[in-house]
Chains A and B, each alone.
Chain A
Amino acid sequence: MSDYIFYPGCSMESSAKAYYDSVMAVSKPLGISLKEIDDWNCCGATEYLSLDRMPAYSLIARNLALAERQAADTRTVVAPCSACYLNLSKTDHYMGEDKAFGEKINEALAAGGLHYSPGELVVRHLLDVVLNDVGLDAVKAKVVRPLTGLRVVPYVGCMLPRPDYGKRYSDTERPTELDDLMRALGAEVVDFPLKTACCGGHMTQIGPDTAFELIRRLVSSAVGCKADVMVALCPMCQMNLDAFQSQMNGHFHADYRMPVLFFTQLMGLAFGEKPEKLGFGSEFVSAREAMSRIGVATPQPVVEGAAARPRKAAGLPMPPPRVTARQSTGKD
């Protein structure tokens, strides 16, 4: 058992409960013990940085300070959420690179009786730990129920491979880590062209039309790739693609039904854990049919996902005018 300091992040307690459960379920077989940062706080996502940089960074730094104080056998902080991961590593990075800035942040922390020395901790995403500390061979060794026959689209999203302060990932545009892991679980992996394209982020809240288009791009090309499921490693990505899929369908009069799961859920399955323990059934677009294809029975979501039925069947959905308004095909 190797120890890690664990920063779950807010989503893990609500919308991404499935992620939390599955992370906990796989941590034992992976031989990693996650020690939660005591009394951690929200990282502010991208919202606080937009409003006021000093408090934003101080908010994040409080977690680092707490973690540093708590650090005993390990200096590694693990975050399962890409946004949290980026915020924590960004703060550590800039406090180190920009000394004056770092001192200011510590000045703020001091008001709460805290201090963080940049570089003291190493912030990493769970995927990185699984691949580089546990290792694919160890993962393979744990697989008792290979996902043979399951066609998976690995969706990495933005904030893991970019900007990648620690240079931990194979590429900023087409990283292969998640693909390799899924392959290790026996799944059939799609070389997904949009694997690091944006899921819409907070645009679902402030510019739905833009968000829906970005979601459509991902879902429709996943469908185009004949995938059974999409796999995500960030609560925000998963929610945008899963929870907002029905609205996207409504918006484009389309009828996509692409289940979006967390990579830890599939890992759990492959390790032989019970679907119930892995949060299956809490997704909006049911993964039931997809999973049944590999002989796994997963609970039916409480409320059926893609509720908004399309008014009429549509072929390739046309993007709404507002999205294309400023785009011209060059033929004009």
Chain B
Amino acid sequence: MSPDRKPQERVGVYVCHCGSNIAGVVDVADVGEWAGKELEPHGVVVARDYKFMCSSLGQELIAKDIKEQGLTRVVVAACSPHLHEPTFRTACSRAGLNPYLFEMANIREQDSWVTTDKLEATKKAKALIAAAVGRVVHQQPLESLFVPVDPNVLVVGGGVTGIQAALEIANSGRHVYLVEREPSIGGHMAQFDKTFPTLDCSACILTPKMFDAGNHKNITMLTWSEVEKVEGHIGNFTVTIRKRARYIDESLCTGCGVCWEKCPKKVVDQVFEAGLGFRKAVYTPFPQAVPKYPVIDRENCTYFQKGTCKACETYCPAGAIKFDQQDEHLTAKVGNIILATGYDLFDSRKITNYGYGRLANVFSSLEFERMTNAAGPTMGRVVLRDGVTQPKSVAVIHCVGSRDKNYHNYCSAVCCMQSLKSAHLIKEKTGGDVYQFYIDMRTPAKTYDEFYQRIIREGVNMVRGKVAEITDTALEPGEEGKLVVQVEDTLIGRQRRIPVDMVVLSAGLEARHDAKEVAQRFGISCSADEWFIERHPKLDPVATMTDGVFVAGACQGPKDIPSSVAQGAAAAARVLSIIGQGQIEIEAATAIVDEVSCVGCKQCVPSCPYRAIEYLAVEGRAHVVEALCKGCGTCVGTCLSKSISLKHFTDDQIVAEVVGAMRVMKSFETTAVA
């Protein structure tokens, strides 16, 4: 390592004001001047400060200097490289400078925005720039690798979001693998009866899309299947999909339904009917299921458990029952992946004082959706758990498990509107009293608040207060045999006990129970609440930090149907634009082995997460397969003889960065002492 060698490079330093974002805290003029003077011995020949470096004028400034001043290195001190490194790299290469000869000093996110003391902030900026300058002179030009993009796409999750994404891509003539865990696509939306605020029938608007997806020539639909392995990178992923045995021969099955008519085994349907209804051991979740083929639920099938029965097989007119069917593992090659894995419903049992699971007539919002659904277990009749009695009064409770540090701290975004919808349906179907218990009414979208007003006009009682408890213990006359909702009506500042026949808990949305595993499988990350993290909350909402992997819909955070559909389409557009480019630039900063000094100790081989290092027995040394290397540098940290280096993150580059920063920090001390 020789970071201190006098550089022959000609470095240009550009300090961005970013309006007042940086200039408001950091004395940019002083920093620029200082860089020009103090860093001259380290190769700086030009140092400027400018209002907005990312503006076209700012970029032209750099290009001009590269041409006229013959700059061989460029440092921009501005925002986070995650925001504008690509911008400036392109600017450099347009001016004929290799983009890898550019370096950025983050003096906004990591300085002006986090430091109160202006003097300290200015000092820190100087240190960071010195570090960048120290580093940049050691950087080497690199040529990016380009790989062709496989035009096939994998969409994971067959809810409305996944369906939308799949259709957009398929309609553009590209091929899509649509993988769904359940026996049918449709997701949560297929379980609903009406959708807010338009109250149009959920099935009526969804089933056509399901049908299209199921019959599209460009869509390979794999239901009752899960992605088990993902290898490769943007442009060419290889995914392994486990297609669970349906015990049905899809080529023969006509979906006539005789099998589930004849099946003697009744099972409580915990998934589609949310535990409110039954299905058979051989079943399709619902009549309009896509595909039409049923599955046999092994755990509950009498034949699989006891070895006798086979009623389905006996009666199947097409001979499509295949008890000996095995799980299959398919591999698919795709260039891009869209995750649309959706959400789970918060389990209201966790809130003991609401009595869900203990008090019979406390229902979850999803149970209620099934109940009001004309195709549901009660044929759309709103009744108590006994299945016959119509409630005369119903309480709908908001924010169950949401906006509560004991459960989920976030707002689930859809519950207010969903609760208002439930209130309307209850009124419509029972004519009884309906109470809404809310903390804040959140209706922030087109025609949502109008819907709220409509519900008020319909005579629903609005009580502002988070319900304290639901009890069946009568304390006052009129409470016997009722569920009593105890709450502070915060608008009158009084405690109220409101007896009702039925309670509907608008449970919040939470990340899928296996979100973390899925994130790891696809190499993306989760937030603290386990929602998938997008690349940028505002400007890049469907991309992730892993190129070629996109997220859409509720798997990224609570969302209603319109926003989910919009994201599905957005993700599809992003993918299509990549496919359109035909080829994609991949990481040029890969590892390389020094053939001379490598002693072939093989330490690095297991350290590589991508098996990109092979041991060449003949030469007795390690070798990095560039196409597989993703440039993490773990091997470099492992290598004992320092024979592997990572391009663009070499030891001398990093050390030079350290040295640069330390030198300046020390200089400030001495001046401070003096």
Contact = CB atoms under 8 A, between A and B. Distances in A.
B352 A174 contact: yes
Nearest to A316: B477
Contacts of B499: 329-330
A67 B341 CA distance: 56
A173 B352 contact: yes
Interface string B459-474: 0010100000101110
A326 interface: yes
A119 interface: no
A316 B494 CA distance: 25
Nearest to B495: A327
B492 to A, nearest CB: 9
Nearest to A331: B478
B496 interface: yes
A24 to B, nearest CB: 35
Contacts of A324: 476
A171 interface: yes
Contacts of A221: 473
A193 B358 CA distance: 10
Given A171-B352, A173-B353, A329 B498 contact: yes
B497 interface: yes
B498 A193 contact: no
Most chain B C-beta atoms within 10 Å of own C-beta, residue among A173, A221, A329, A331: A329
A318 interface: yes
A211 interface: no
Interface in B466-492: 469, 471-473, 475-478
B435 A330 contact: yes
A319 interface: yes
A205 interface: no
B352 A193 contact: no
Nearest to B469: A173
A328 interface: yes
A330 B476 contact: no
Contacts of A258: none
B352 A329 contact: no
A115 B477 CA distance: 55
Interface string A311-332: 0000010110000101111110
A329 B496 CA distance: 6
B476 A326 contact: no
A329 B495 contact: no
Interface residues of B, number: 19
Contacts of A330: 435, 461, 463, 496-499
A226 to B, nearest CB: 15
Contacts of B472: 193
Nearest to A217: B475
A327 B461 contact: no
B494 A327 contact: yes
A184 to B, nearest CB: 23
Contact of A319 (B352, B463, B475, B496): B475
Contacts of A319: 475-476
B406 to A, nearest CB: 9
A48 to B, nearest CB: 29
Contact of B473 (A173, A174, A193): A193
Interface string B5-33: 00000000000000000000000000000
Contact of B471 (A171, A193, A329): A193
Contacts of A193: 471-473
Contacts of A173: 352-353, 469
Interface string B155-178: 000000000000000000000000
Contacts of B469: 173
A194 B473 contact: yes
Interface in B408-459: 435
A328 B352 contact: no
B431 to A, nearest CB: 17
Contacts, number: 41
Nearest to A172: B352
A322 B478 CA distance: 19
A312 B50 CA distance: 92
Contacts of B475: 217, 319
B478 A329 contact: yes
A99 to B, nearest CB: 23
A328 B473 contact: no
Nearest to A216: B475
A327 B352 contact: no
B473 A217 contact: yes
A328 B496 CA distance: 6
Interface in B489-523: 494-499
Contacts of B496: 327-330
A264 B594 CA distance: 77
Nearest to B461: A330
B498 A326 contact: no
B498 to A, nearest CB: 4
Nearest to B350: A171
Interface in A273-332: 316, 318-319, 324, 326-331
A329 B435 contact: no
Interface string A46-81: 000000000000000000000000000000000000
A326 B478 contact: no
A318 B475 CA distance: 9
Contacts of A327: 476, 494-497
A318 B473 contact: no
A64 B432 CA distance: 58
Contacts of B497: 327, 329-330
A38 B101 CA distance: 76
A327 B494 CA distance: 7
Interface string A200-222: 00000000000000000100010
A171 B472 CA distance: 19
A316 B353 CA distance: 25
A6 B497 CA distance: 42
Contacts of A217: 473, 475
A326 B494 contact: yes
Contacts of A171: 352
Contact of B477 (A172, A194, A318): A318
Contacts of B495: 326-327
Interface string A246-285: 0000000000000000000000000000000000000000
Interface in A171-195: 171-174, 193-194
Contacts of B471: 193
A159 B478 CA distance: 31
Contacts of B498: 329-330
A225 to B, nearest CB: 10
B485 to A, nearest CB: 8
Contacts of A329: 476, 478, 496-499
A173 B497 CA distance: 19
B475 to A, nearest CB: 6
**Which among B352, B471, B475, B477 has the highest number of chain A CB atoms within 10 Å?**
B475
Interface in A143-190: 171-174
A56 B84 CA distance: 58
A123 to B, nearest CB: 23
A173 B486 CA distance: 15
A224 to B, nearest CB: 8
B502 to A, nearest CB: 15
Interface of B: 352-353, 435, 461, 463, 469, 471-473, 475-478, 494-499
26 contacts: A171-B352, A172-B352, A173-B352, A193-B471, A193-B472, A217-B473, A217-B475, A221-B473, A319-B475, A319-B476, A324-B476, A326-B495, A327-B494, A327-B496, A327-B497, A328-B494, A328-B496, A329-B476, A329-B478, A329-B496, A329-B497, A329-B498, A329-B499, A330-B435, A330-B461, A330-B499
Given A173-B469, A330-B435, A330-B463, 15 more contacts: A172-B352, A194-B473, A221-B473, A319-B476, A324-B476, A327-B476, A327-B494, A327-B495, A327-B497, A328-B496, A329-B476, A329-B497, A329-B498, A329-B499, A330-B461
Give the top 6 A-B pairs by smallest Cβ distance, nearest first: A330-B498, A173-B352, A193-B473, A173-B353, A174-B352, A326-B494
